Chain A
């Protein structure tokens, strides 16, 4: 419930400018924020407000045009100069787990094979045990030998989440995770994220259009035109 005081993400004066012909569009226009370890933060705002661009930058999927980003005490970006792709890959692998609107499961691999997929690219001791644990946690171990085409949408998203969690990330980035799901399943996913935050101590960054889902976070940050419009206080009263 309480977030501990260690800052896991610290962003200073982040700017991201897109060029369209001769026009320059600032998708992120000077945003500074910090996120504590164990926090559940949701980002809301209308389309084009820059929320996806922002969490892409926070999640090391994109480089800002300028600004500074520090992750778990390590400077990742300074003045638009990021670390090498290889180093970024390592950071993504060790720190982040990503959940997207589209599930991106490989249709010819079974559920358990999909979840194990990250370990195809690097060895980790105890990986098998972790996979089993996560399947259990996501309540999909009874479907482990099914193909994605044989399970429901809600189950598919659980598989995707399981895959994101299997390498024990510190931070989970969820970009519209319930966009393709109905109300009931969306709520299930929301509860699941809460549980992961509370029981596993995961830091969760959520982008969503769904107000009910947004409210499940500790705090909600509202974006508009690439800037933070208003931080919305929730349970802990922290900005």
Chain B
């Protein structure tokens, strides 16, 4: 078999430009495929990491309560529903729970915000438990408040920048005419924490007259816990709803998958075009070598031998193209990432394009499959050539 490989390889060298162009065609298709699969992988793992960085895997809120700042602002600051503080203790007792943290979201209408006023949201958090849950949050200036009753605030980076606040400055809570002192400014996280203003839970409860009320409980679940089963338990609590962040991830992935389908279609078209290119190249070379193939048959090559020879030529083209494409994809991974960030509305932080050996192996597998399939027709045609066809054309 080794000898057939050599003959096949040398046959391809007879028309270097043609072989080269075909390989480039396959290489480009392979490049697109590898980059795409790499993006697919990278996006998902970055998203996972971002979700994990939210700190808690599950949030329990009062039924009908918009617990997110964005939602709150969308709803015009209304519609808040509350849970009693005791719910936190109740949840903490569950064996699956590793840690809990109580939260109270409140909003005020600030006439100074934006053009004709807007809503500002404040998140009351428990200084004893919240910082531990979100231990990866880093500070640009200052630190978390420690006194649960302090009139202090920690700002996400964007929130601070908007108000030009730094540690030591005062922050006015509109409509309540209360000024709190800024004690910490977080570094950028690339998540919604950047736009959040954090206050001690009890201070928010006091300022807004919502004693012992909560809008959310963040739950960190033990690693070995049975998530679905625990979710079921939480659903059974009265008047609450449970948001599992793994389900959020699903939703985001569904949104992204639509884009992925489109891009995969493009990759598929690229592959189809290169397949046509391969078939054309090999077919042309078979047509040109009709007489020669006839002579091979006269030497004792069977139809299968000829078929194998042509098939091997096809495979060589495809594998070469595949390797070039994979190498290109590796080399341009960073550039691809930059392009993708421009195009996507939401991109998680971290590496978006992850290309590893298994991915390259998979792409090469696909390319080999393409080679095998596209080589079938030309190889079959070559196998059918009769020795006489060669000789007859000689006479003519």
Give residues in A with beta carbon < 8 Å to B: 52, 56, 61-62, 85-86, 89-90, 92-94, 96, 98, 100-102, 104, 106-109, 113, 116-122, 163, 167, 175
Contacts and interface: CB of A to CB of B under 8 A. Distances in A.
A104 B291 CA distance: 8
A56 B388 contact: yes
A121 B302 contact: yes
21 contacts: A52-B395, A62-B388, A85-B303, A89-B300, A89-B302, A90-B300, A92-B300, A98-B295, A100-B394, A104-B291, A104-B390, A106-B10, A109-B7, A117-B7, A117-B299, A118-B299, A120-B4, A120-B7, A120-B301, A163-B299, A167-B300
B291 to A, nearest CB: 7
Contacts of A92: 297-298, 300, 387
A57 B387 CA distance: 12
Contacts of B276: none
A204 to B, nearest CB: 16
Most chain A CB neighbours (cut-off 10 Å) among B6, B387, B390, B391: B391
Contacts of A90: 300
B10 A109 contact: yes
A106 B303 contact: no
Given A118-B299, A118-B300, A121-B300, A108 B3 contact: no
Interface string B363-395: 000000000000000000000001110110011
Contacts of A122: 300
B305 A121 contact: yes
B14 interface: yes
A13 B6 CA distance: 45
Nearest to B389: A61
A184 B94 CA distance: 105
B284 interface: no
A8 to B, nearest CB: 18
B11 interface: yes
B249 to A, nearest CB: 56
Interface residues on B, range: 20 to 34
Interface string B276-318: 0000000000000001100111111111010000000000000
B14 A100 contact: no
Interface in B1-25: 3-4, 6-7, 10-11, 13-14
Contact of B13 (A85, A96, A108, A163): A108
B11 A61 contact: no
Contacts of B388: 56, 61-62
A208 B10 CA distance: 33
Interface of B: 3-4, 6-7, 10-11, 13-14, 291-292, 295-303, 305, 386-388, 390-391, 394-395
Contacts of B387: 61, 92, 98
Contact of B3 (A89, A106, A119, A167): A119
B297 A89 contact: yes
B292 A106 contact: yes
Nearest to A63: B388
Contacts of B14: 107-108
A101 B394 CA distance: 8
A86 B299 CA distance: 13
Contacts of B301: 89, 120-121
Given A85-B303, A107-B14, A102 B7 contact: no
Given A86-B302, A118-B299, 5 more contacts: A61-B388, A93-B300, A104-B390, A107-B14, A167-B299
B11 to A, nearest CB: 7
A93 B299 contact: yes
B208 to A, nearest CB: 85
Contacts of A101: 394
Nearest to B387: A61
Nearest to A119: B3
B10 A120 contact: no
Contacts of B291: 102, 104
A122 B292 CA distance: 18
Contacts of B305: 120-121
Contacts of A62: 388
A221 B331 CA distance: 71
B300 A98 contact: no
Contacts of B296: 117, 121
Contacts of A120: 3-4, 7, 301, 305
Q: Which 6 A-B pairs give the minimum distances between C-beta atoms?
A: A93-B300, A108-B10, A104-B295, A121-B305, A121-B301, A118-B299
A85 to B, nearest CB: 7
B298 A98 contact: yes
A90 B302 CA distance: 8
Nearest to B305: A121
A52 B391 CA distance: 9
Contacts of A104: 291-292, 295, 390
A102 B299 contact: no
Contacts of B391: 52, 56, 61, 100, 175
Contacts of A113: 6-7
A92 B3 CA distance: 21
A24 to B, nearest CB: 18
A83 to B, nearest CB: 14
A62 B3 CA distance: 29
Nearest to B306: A121
Given A106-B11, A175-B391, A61 B298 contact: yes
A231 B295 CA distance: 30
A93 B297 CA distance: 9
B295 A100 contact: yes
Contacts of A94: 300
A194 to B, nearest CB: 23
